[in-house]
Structure 1
Amino acid sequence: MDYKTRRTFLKRLGQGAIGSFALPVFGNSLTNHWKAEGLFEGDYTSEAYWELVKSQFNMADGLRYFNNASLGASSTSIRQATLGFRDLLDGFPSKYMWGGWQKEKEKVRESIANLFSVDAEEIALIHNTTEGMNLIARSFDLQPGDEIILADHEHPSGSIPWEVWQETKGIRLVRPELPVLPKSVSELTEVYKKAISPKTKIISMCHMVNTNGMLLPVQEISKIAHEKGILVAVDGAQSAGMFKIDLHELGCDFYSASSHKWLFSPKGVGVFYAKKESQHHLKPLMVARGHTDESIRRLENYNTRNLPEVLGLGASVDFHNTIGAEVIHRRSYELKTYFRSKIEGNDHFTIKSPALDDLSSAIQVVEVNGKDVKDIKEKLWENYGIDCRPMTSHGLNALRLSFAIYITKKDIDYLVNALQELATA
């Protein structure tokens, strides 16, 4: 990429979204415009391209951030767009809080629907994954003896709602154990098939578990479940934005995700999908004027809410589309493969994420053999400026490493070198 092209890339990626989104009328993706100029055809295959993407994330000096699975960063353009909306709101509060941004809000819904290949009438704009899982768990009038399947790797935000809203009524929670390192998709589907009984009403499952980045076979489980009249709810916190997802193809009834991780949106914004045929099961967590609305909007009717953050989600999708969902998908797997190639076969390390691409992606978990993970985590931060997450459940004693699109191969080289030094110290 020559100097002139690089300057154009930085200018548009850094300022383009604010031009599109910080005005009352927005939503035009930059993708088609950029392609028309022929700027980036094939550039994503070079590390120079990803260095430019990285430059759009204004991280703290000296920080090497491998903790996107905990919380993502917003790019400069997304931050600018959100601040622009905030300025508009504070300039005329009542106009923009109640009605002034109705069309813009619907454009955000449409952009999310397009991203996940579903209908806009199947998308609600909520706060986070936890809210969506609570919404699902509280909606059902199940009877004592009914069963809900929740595997043992579920995030607390995916299991506690069922414990509070259903288990206390006498509903049985079935907690099958998943293998930490499955060698095939069928190995996981068998776990769920064995857990199903005539009393099973709902299967609630992660798309990607937060413990070791294992991908669960939602499509296969949904097919099995629906043949038996069982509903499927999915916690998509760790998958939304990491790779391409077609929710109709996935087949689940409900899908809840926090967009502030792999979609890099403002914090406190989330996405909720409910298949049209399954929406009648759901009841809103909060009710206000307009609660009789029969559309999916009844699930997001909070009256006053932080609309600049919601509209900032639109800027996040635009940023995602500008790079390209397929390109991001490939990059996620490219970084996974690159990292594993650097440490596989090294006796100092044990990778504790499944190897197959059908079973893991841009979250990889590694143990430094013979070392306490909390100690290694602290030394990575203190000595190298590397932030990551220690995982101790399920016997992992391992570091959870997130390879978001602002991570380059040079960053991975730096990480592996640091791990090697600590492993041999």
Structure 2
Amino acid sequence: MNHTNRRKFIKSFSAGVTASMFTPVFAATDLDKQRTSLLELSKFDYKDLDENFWEQVAEQFIFQPNLHYFNNASLGPSPIVVQEATRKFRDTLDAFPSKYMWGAWKDDVEKVRSKVASLFSVSNEEIALIHNTTEGMNLIARSFDLQKDDEIIVANHEHPSGTIPWEVWQETKGIKIVRPELPILPDNTDEVVAVYKNAITSRTKIISICHIVNTNGMMLPIKEISKMAHDKGILVAVDGAQSAGMLSIDLHDLGCDFYAASSHKWLFSPKGVGVLYAKYESQKFLKPLMVARGHNDKSIRRLENYNTRNYPEVLGLGTAIDFYNKIGKQNIDERSKELKSYFRSQIQNDSRFKIKTPASNDLSGAIQVVEVIGKDAKEIKKKLIEQFGIDCRPMTDFNLNALRFSFAIYITKKDIDYLVKALTTIASL
């Protein structure tokens, strides 16, 4: 990136952030003192996406000194511009509570809905603004009036928030939950599709499926599975917690009926905000979890009718999408693949490590899971945070004994170099 473009980048996002020196010991700090005020986003179009560009993106996120954050799959940070915008929304609400809770922000909320819809290439009338993936999966699972012995396919790598709702709302009524086993390292997407195909019977009504599983970062072929399911009259509900924001997604193209996601992971929104997509033709199946005045609304808004809710966070989602679109969803998608490839290239030929995430871009993205041979994952996680300030998540289910690393847009190749150095140091002990 040339000098002029870098200056424009900084001007459009912030006045700049001074990098801190990292040491293994965490120090207490007042994060507000580190913040710099942001200038209004310009319409400058970034073309030169070299590593300098991504280092400038990284500067838009402020972490605790000494922290190297590779745990975005658990919870993502908000960039400075989103934090500041959300604080301003809170100040506005508190200055005139009744005005902004009921009415004054109605059009602004609809603008957020429109931004979400555009991001996923769907209609405004197919997006509900909810709280998180768990709420969306509960709403879907509770809605159906299934009959005893009907079947729902929920594979073994689903997140608890994608399994428990079906167990509580359907299995207790005599509905059968079918739990096929997914391969940890499939050779191709056909192998995954076959797992679901073989699980289908004449009683199958719904397939509930993660887009990207949180266990080992494997991406599941939603488009192919949706087509197969629809050919048999089966509905498809997708847990998109780990894919929304990581990938460039066209939900109409994916073909699923429902898609629930938390925007506070890879979309970097305020916490406790999420989205629910329901294909227009499939909305008739859904019922709200809560009812209040306006429950007779026939639109998808009936599914988000909480009466009083935290609108500053909802509006902060709009700012997060502005930030996201500023960089570009295709650029972010490609960056995810670039960082994945860079990390894998550093360790894949080292016998001390075993990568337990599929390599193909059709089968994985910016979440990679690695076993350090002969070492306990929980012990390594402890050493990484205490000695190197690296936060990640140990994954022990399915005998993974591995560490899960998330490569979000604030991760640079220098960060990955630091991570690999830390891993090789611990592996050598």
Q: TM-score, normalised by structure 1?
A: 0.94
Letter in 1 for 2:381: K
Q: Give the whole-Å Cα distance in 1 for the aligned partners of 2:38 and 2:304.
A: 26
Deviations 1:72-99 (A, max 9, x none): 0000001011111111111111111001
Aligned partner of 2:10 in structure 1 is 10
Q: Give the whole-Å Cα distance in 2 for the aligned partners of 1:17 and 1:259.
A: 24
Deviations 1:254-297 (A, max 9, x none): 00000000000000000100000000000000000000000000
Matched, 1:354 2:358: yes
Aligned partner of 2:220 in structure 1 is 216
Q: Give the whole-Å Cα distance in 2 for the aligned partners of 1:13 and 1:144.
A: 55
Matched, 1:41 2:51: no
Deviations 1:352-374 (A, max 9, x none): 00011100010000000000000
SS in 2 for 1:148: strand
Residue of 191, 195, 203 corresponding to 2:195 = 191
Q: How many residues of Structure 1 are paired with residues of Structure 2 in the alignment?
A: 409
Letter in 2 for 1:155: H
Aligned partner of 2:124 in structure 1 is 120
Aligned partner of 1:322 in structure 2 is 326
Q: Give the whole-Å Cα distance in 1 for the aligned partners of 2:240 and 2:118.
A: 17
Any conservation in 2 of the 1:390–1:397 contact (CA below 8 Å)?
yes
Residue of 238, 247, 252 corresponding to 2:251 = 247
Which consecutive unaligned segments of at least 5 residues does structure 2 have?
A: 16-35
Any conservation in 1 of the 2:137–2:239 contact (CA below 8 Å)?
yes
Change in 2 beyond 3 A, CA 1:276/1:18: farther
Aligned partner of 2:182 in structure 1 is 178
Letter in 1 for 2:362: D
Alignment of 1:6-405 (within 5 A): 6-14=6-14, 30=41, 33-35=43-45, 40-42=46-48, 44=49, 46-405=50-409
Q: Give the whole-Å Cα distance in 2 for the aligned partners of 1:177 and 1:87.
A: 49
- Segments of 4+ in structure 1 off by > 3 A? 1-5, 15-20
How far is the alpha carbon of 1:3 from its aligned partner? 4.6
Q: Give the whole-Å Cα distance in 1 for the aligned partners of 2:247 and 2:211.
A: 12
Deviations 1:193-217 (A, max 9, x none): 0000000000000000000000001
Q: Give the whole-Å Cα distance in 2 for the aligned partners of 1:90 and 1:344.
A: 53
Q: Give the whole-Å Cα distance in 1 for the aligned partners of 2:278 and 2:362.
A: 24
How far is the alpha carbon of 1:162 from its aligned partner? 0.2
The two structures, once aligned, show a CA RMSD in angstroms of 1.3
Aligned partner of 1:25 in structure 2 is none
Any conservation in 2 of the 1:17–1:78 contact (CA below 8 Å)?
no
SS in 1 for 2:386: helix
Deviations 1:109-153 (A, max 9, x none): 000000000000000000000000000000001111000000000
Deviations 1:281-340 (A, max 9, x none): 000000000000000000000000000000000001000000011110110000000000
Percent identity, aligned pairs only, is 67
SS in 2 for 1:34: coil
Q: TM-score, normalised by structure 2?
A: 0.94
